[in-house]
A and B are shown apart, each in its own frame.
Chain A
Amino acid sequence: MEALFFNVENGYLEAIVRGFKSGILTSNHYLNLTQCETLEDLKLQLASTDYGNFLQNEPSPIATTTIAEKAREKLVAEFNYIRANAVKPLATFLDYITYAYMIDNVILLITGTLHERDTNDLLERCHPLGMFDTIAALCVATNVQELYSTVLVDSPLAPYFEKCLSAHDLDEMNIEIIRNTLYKAYLEDFYNYCQMLGSPTSEVMGEILQFEADRRVINITINSFNTELSKDDRAKLYPTCGKLYPDGTAKLSKSDDIDQVRMVVETDAQYRQFFDLPVGAERSLEDKFFEYEVFLNKKSFLRQFHFGVFYSYLKLREQEIRNIVWIAECIAQHQKERINNYIPIF
C-alpha cells in the first residue's frame, strides 16, 4: 500500500534526493582529487563535479576550513530545500534527523561556556541544521536544572532532557553523561518513530539506527575504561535499540578491557569485521564504523518508497565532506602518503 500513495506526497522529494545522490563523488573523482598537488588543483577538480563553482568567489589561497564550510553550506541548503517541501510524516522524520545536530550543538555550547569561550564564536561553530531560536541562551545556564527550565524546555530536545535532570553540576564528566543520555533517548525515540512508520522505512532505518546504537554502545564502553564512570552508570547510557541489546549490552557493561568487548561484539556476524584489524593497520575502529555506515546507507538506496534515503543521503554527503576535507588536509600538510585513507563511497 505504501507504494501506492508514497509518490503522492514524497515522490518528488525522493526523486530529488536520488538525483542529489547521483552527484556524490565516485572513485574516479577521488582518484583525480588525490592526484592534486595544491588546493587550487582541488578546487579546479571539484568544479567539474556537482559541487560546481561553490568556491568560485573565494579568494585564493583557500583554506581547508573554507572548503569544508562551503561544502557543508551546500549540503545544508539541499537539506533545507527538502525540509521546506516535505509534509508530514516525512517532515517529522526530517526533523528527527536534525535533533542529533541539536544535541551536538547544545553540548558544544555548554562545554564552550564551561571553558569560558565567546558565545558568538561558539554559535558560529554550531552545525546549521541543529539550530533552534533559544539556543543562544544556553550559555547563561550554570546547572542542569537551569539549562532545562530556561532554554531547552521548549526546544524539541526537552523530552530527552527530562531523563538527565538528576545530574547537577556542569562539569566535563557530567556533560559527557548528558550527551550520551540525550543521545540514547534520542536514538530510542527516533527508532520507535521509524518503527511506527511501518515497512519499508522501519526496516531500512531500523538497521541503520540499530547499528548507530551499537556503535555508541561500543564507543561508550571503550571510552569509559579507566574512568570514574561506574559500570552501572555505564549501562544506563547504552541505547536499548541496538542489535547488541539486551545480551550484548549486559556483558559489555561488565567488561574491563578491549578483548572482552571484542568477544561480545564478535557474536554478531556482521560486526565481526570491526575488530578484524591487522596489526599496525592505518584503519582504525572508527574507520571501520564509517565504512559499515556507508555500506548501510548505500544499501538504503536500493529500496524505494521509504524515508531512509533522506537520512542516508545526508550521511553519505557528510562522509564525502569528511573525505574531501581529509584529502585537502593531506594536500595542505604534504602528507601525500596518507591521502588514500578516505572512506570510498561509490
Chain B
Amino acid sequence: MPGNLLRSEDMSLIQLYIPLEIAQPTVAELGELGQIQFRDLNPDVNAFQRAFVNEVRRLDEMERKLRFLRTQIDKAEIPVRSLEGSMYYARSTTQQEIDELEERLAEHEARIQQMNNSLETLNKRYLELTELRHVLRETSVFFEEAGSRTDELLGGAHQEDSHLLSPAAGADDSEAAERGEGGSRGANLGFVAGVIPRARMATFERILFRALRGNLYMNFAEIDEPIVDPVTDETVKKNVFIIFAHGKEIIAKIRKICESMGATLYPVSDRPEKRREDALEVLARLEDLKHVLDSTRNARRQELAKVAENIEVWTTIVKKEKAIYYTMNMFNYDVNRKALIADGWCPTDSINAIQYALRGVTERTGSTIPPILNELHTTKEPPTYLRTNKFTVGFQEIIDAYGVAKYHEVNPGLFTVITFPFLFAVMFGDFGHGILVTVFAAWMVNQEKTLEKKKWGEIWGTFFGGRYIILLMGVFSIYTGLIYNDIFSKAMNIFGSGWNFVKEPHAEKWIGEQTGVYPFGVDPAWMGAENMLIFSNSYKMKMAIVMGVMHMTFGICLNVVNYIHFGQRMSIYLEFIPQITFLLSIFGYLVVLILNKWATYYPDPSQAPGLLNTLIYMVLSPGNVSEKDQIYPGQAGLQTFLVLLALICVPWMLLGKPYYLKRQHAKRGALGYAGLSDENIPDPSRPSEDSNAGGHGESSGLVDPHGDGSHGGEMGHEEHFDFGEIMIHQMIHTIEFCLNCISNTASYLRLWALSLAHAQLSEVLWEMVLAGVLTDTIAPGLLPFAIVIAFALWFVLTVSILLVMEGLSAFLHALRLHWVEFNGKFYAGTGTKFEPFAFATVLKEVEE
C-alpha cells in the first residue's frame, strides 16, 4: 500500500553484501535513492578506528579548502552560482574524479594563498607609503607652524643677538633662518615622526610623558582617510605624530617606546626641500604600486570567479562523498572476502527499486561480482515510515511532535488533515477572517516555488511550512463563519431573514415574529438581538459537547483497527467494548438529550428542562427525575439502567484483561512452554546480532499495547509474569480512562469558549474603532479622513490581534484537543522515525 497514511509502510530488514571495489558507487547510488536506513554495525569502534577514516579525513581536508575558498569568495563579494536543479545530482563517479578534484582544490588554494601573500606584502607597502605620505604632509605643517613660531620667538632673539653673532643673520629670509637655527640646534634637538593607531594615542602620550618626565614636545594630527590593515582587513583610524626631544639617548628611548606601542616610524628629513622631494617620490611610487596592486587584485578576482563558478558543485560532491564514507564506516568490513556487509531497514516496496539500483551499478562499473541483497527475518521493531507529500507533511508533523507512531499503528495524521482545521475553524469561525487567512495561505501555496528559496527567518519558516494547514484552516473558517453568519462580527442577510420585527405597542422594544426558516446557518436577525448572547452561548456550548463526544468516540473506535491488526482480538471485548459503553452510556446519552432538545419546541423557554441538572442527578440520585426535568416518560428507568451499565464497565475494564492474561499464562505454563516460547530459534541466514531481541507474541502485545515498544528491543520478552504489576497498570489505566472521559468532555468546551471570545473580540473591535466614525457625529468634511484612519487602525488590529494572536491561540487549543483528547484514546506514539540515508537530507542539512 504505497502512500498509505493510515499505517506506516511495511519495512524489511535487509542485508547487503557489497564487493569492496564497487562499494563507493553502490553506496552513492543508494544515497541518491534514499530508501535505506543503515544500522551502525560497529557501535563499539572509535570514530578514528573505523575502516574508512582516512578517506573521511581526506574529505575533511578538502572541505576545509572549500571553506577557505568560500570565505575568500565572499570577502571579494563575487556572486556564487547557486545550486540549480540538476546540480544537486552532481557527484563523482570514480575515485579518479575525487583525486582530480582534490588536486584542483589544492592548486586553487595554493594559488589563492600565494596571491593573498603577495597582495598582503603589496598592501603593506602601499600602507606604509600612504602613511609616509600623510606623515610628510602633516609634518610639513608642523614644521611650518614651528617655523613661524620660532620666527616669532627667535625673531626677537635674532634682533638682539644679530649684532653679536652675525650681522647677516637678521637679513636671512625666514626659511633660511629656520634651517640655520634647526641646524645649529640639530645637534641636540632631534625628532621622531610616525603613525600610531588613534586608540593607543592616549596611552602613548601618557607613557612618553612619564618616561621622559615631560621633556618633549609632541604634535599630532589625525589622518582623515581610514587605513586598512593588510593582515586583518579592518579599517583602523590612525594619527600622525611628531615628537621633538633633546638628546640622543632620549630619542633612542622614544623610538623604543614607539616601536613597542605599535607605532610605525618614518624617516623625515628636517629640510623642507628634501621633504618636498620625498613627497613627490612617495606619490610616484604610490602610483606605481597602485597599478601593481590593481593587476594582482584583478588576477585574484578572476581566479576566484573561476572557483565561484564551480564551488557549489564541488561542495556538493565533497559532502556527498563524505556522507558515503561516513555510511560505509557503519558497515562490517570483511577483510577476507573483500566485501562490506551492510544492514539496514528499507520499505518492503522499495526492495525492487534497490535491486534495480544495485543492478545498475554493477552494469555501469562492469564489475563481475554484483552486490547481493538479502532480506532478513527479524523480530526487531522496525522504524516507522509514513510516506507524506507536501500537503500532508505539515499535518503529519503535528502528530510526530506528539510521538512517532509505533510500527503499523493507526496513524492519527490521516484524520488530523480534516479534523484539525475543522476544530480550529469552530473556534475561529468568521467569514471575513477566514477569507483573509485563506488568501494569505493561497498566496503562499501559489508562490511556493519562489518562496521556498527565501530565507526570512524561523517564524516565516514555520508559517510557510504549515501553508497547507493554514489554507485548510482558512477554508474551514469560511465555512463555520457562514454557519455562524459572522463576517467581521456583522451578519449577512443573503436569503432573507426568517424573522419579522414588530414594535411592541407600549414598550420601546422590537419583538421578533417568525415568518420562515433561514435556509443556511444562523438567521441574521439574531445579530443585534438582545438575547443573541444567550442563544449563541447555549448553541455553541452544546455543539462543543456533541463534537467532543463524537471525536472521542471515533478515537476509541480506532482502537479496534489496531487490535485487529495486531491480532489482539480479545482486547476488543476486554477493553474496547467497556470503554465505548462507558463513554456512550453517560456522554452519548447527553448528546442524544441535546439533539432531542434542539428538535423540540418549547413555547416558554424557561420551562425547558435543564440538561446539566439532568446529567448531574442522573448520577447522583439514580431512579429519580424531578418533575421539571422530565423529558420523556420512563426517563428514570432508562437513566438508572445507563448508570448501572457504566458502573459495570469499570470492573470489566479493571479485571477482564489481567484475568485473561493470567489464564493465558497458566495455560502456557501447564503445557510446559513457559521457557521454550522465549527461545530464539537461530536463523541461519541471519548474523547473530539479532539474538538479543525477543519475539513479540500475542500475549506480550496484550500486556501493554501502549508501551511494548519501550521494552521490545532489549528485554525481548524474557517474560517474568508479574500479576501484581499488570494489575496496578490496569488500575491506573482504568482510573485514567474514567476520569479522562469526564475531564476531556469538559475540555471540549474550549471550542465554545474560544469561539465566543473570538466573536466578542471582533465585535468589540468593530464597535470601538470603526463604528464610531460611521455615525453622523463627525463633520461631513472630515468624514473621509476619519474613515481612512479608522479603517487602517481597524484593519491592522484585525490582522494582528484577531488573525495572528487569536489564530495562534485557536491553533494551540486545536493542537491540544488532538494530542490529549484524541490521541490519548488510542495512540501509543512510541515508534522511531525512519531516517534513510539520502543525499537530499545531507545536502539540506548543509544549507541550514
Contacts and interface: CB of A to CB of B under 8 A. Distances in A.
A56 B203 contact: no
Nearest to B209: A150
A40 B210 contact: no
Interface stretch (B251-259, B560-568, B648-656): B251-259
B87 interface: no
A35 B210 contact: no
A60 B46 contact: no
A331 interface: no
A134 B46 contact: no
Interface residues of B, number: 23
A154 B210 CA distance: 11
A80 B670 CA distance: 73
Nearest to B213: A149
A241 interface: no
A45 B48 contact: yes
Interface stretch (A135-143, A174-182, A230-238): A135-143
A32 interface: yes
B67 interface: yes
Contacts of A136: 260-262
A149 B206 CA distance: 11
Nearest to A136: B260
B211 interface: yes
A282 interface: no
Contact of A35 (B46, B206, B253, B257): B46
A36 interface: yes
A134 B210 CA distance: 12
Given A56-B64, A137-B260, A150 B207 contact: yes
B264 to A, nearest CB: 12
Nearest to B203: A133
Nearest to A55: B64
Nearest to B207: A137
A28 to B, nearest CB: 11
A133 B207 CA distance: 10
A60 B61 contact: yes
A140 B57 contact: no
B47 interface: yes
Nearest to B61: A60
Contacts of A276: none
Interface string A118-147: 010000000000000110111110000010
Given A41-B48, A45-B47, A151-B207, A119 B61 contact: no
A44 B207 contact: no
A140 B67 CA distance: 43
A57 B68 contact: yes
A37 B46 CA distance: 12
Contacts of B53: 44
Contact of B200 (A35, A133, A139): A133
Contacts of B256: 139-140
A48 B48 CA distance: 11
Given A137-B260, A139-B256, A140-B257, A150 B47 contact: no
Nearest to B254: A140
Contacts of B206: 134, 154
A53 B754 CA distance: 49
Given A57-B68, A150-B207, A44 B257 contact: no
A149 B47 contact: no
Interface size on A, as a range, is 20 to 34
Nearest to B67: A57
Contacts of A134: 203, 206-207
Nearest to A139: B260
A153 interface: yes
Given A44-B57, A57-B68, A139-B260, A32 B211 contact: no
A44 B67 contact: no
A41 B53 CA distance: 9
Contacts of A57: 64, 67-68
A45 to B, nearest CB: 7
A172 B207 CA distance: 25
Contacts of B57: 40, 44
Contacts of B262: 136
A133 B61 CA distance: 39
Interface string A98-126: 00000000000000000000010000000
A150 B211 contact: yes
A119 B48 contact: no
> Which of A48, A60, A134, A138: most chain B Cβ within 10 A?
A134
Interface string B195-231: 0000010010011001100000000000000000000
Contacts of A280: none
B210 A48 contact: no
Interface string B244-282: 000000000100110111100000000000000000000
A4 to B, nearest CB: 36
Contact of A140 (B61, B64, B253): B253
A48 B203 contact: no
A59 to B, nearest CB: 7
A143 to B, nearest CB: 13
A37 B207 CA distance: 51
A136 to B, nearest CB: 4
B257 A59 contact: no
A316 B417 CA distance: 54
A41 B257 CA distance: 45
Contacts of A139: 256, 260
Nearest to B48: A41
A171 B262 CA distance: 26
Nearest to B56: A44
A245 to B, nearest CB: 36
Contacts of B64: 56-57, 59
Given A35-B46, A44-B47, A56-B64, A140 B200 contact: no
A119 B256 CA distance: 10
B744 to A, nearest CB: 39
Contacts of A149: 210
B457 to A, nearest CB: 25
> Which of A59, A138, A146: most chain B Cβ within 10 A?
A59
A137 B68 contact: no
Nearest to A118: B259
Interface in B34-89: 46-49, 53, 57, 61, 64, 67-68
B46 A119 contact: no
Interface string A140-175: 100000100111011000000000000000000000
A37 B53 CA distance: 13
A137 B258 CA distance: 8
Contacts of A35: 46, 49
Contacts of B67: 56-57
A45 B207 CA distance: 47
A146 B207 CA distance: 11
Nearest to A42: B48
B47 A140 contact: no
B47 A119 contact: no
Contacts of B210: 149-150, 153
Nearest to A32: B46
Interface string B346-380: 00000000000000000000000000000000000
Interface of B: 46-49, 53, 57, 61, 64, 67-68, 200, 203, 206-207, 210-211, 253, 256-257, 259-262
10 smallest A-B Cβ distances: which pairs?
Answer: A136-B260, A41-B48, A150-B211, A133-B203, A137-B207, A119-B260, A44-B48, A140-B256, A150-B210, A140-B257
10 contacts: A41-B48, A44-B48, A56-B67, A59-B64, A139-B260, A140-B253, A140-B257, A149-B210, A150-B210, A153-B210
Interface of A: 32, 35-37, 40-41, 44-45, 48, 56-57, 59-60, 119, 133-134, 136-140, 146, 149-151, 153-154
Given A56-B67, A136-B260, 15 more contacts: A32-B46, A44-B47, A45-B47, A45-B48, A56-B64, A57-B64, A57-B68, A60-B61, A137-B257, A137-B261, A139-B260, A150-B207, A150-B210, A150-B211, A151-B207
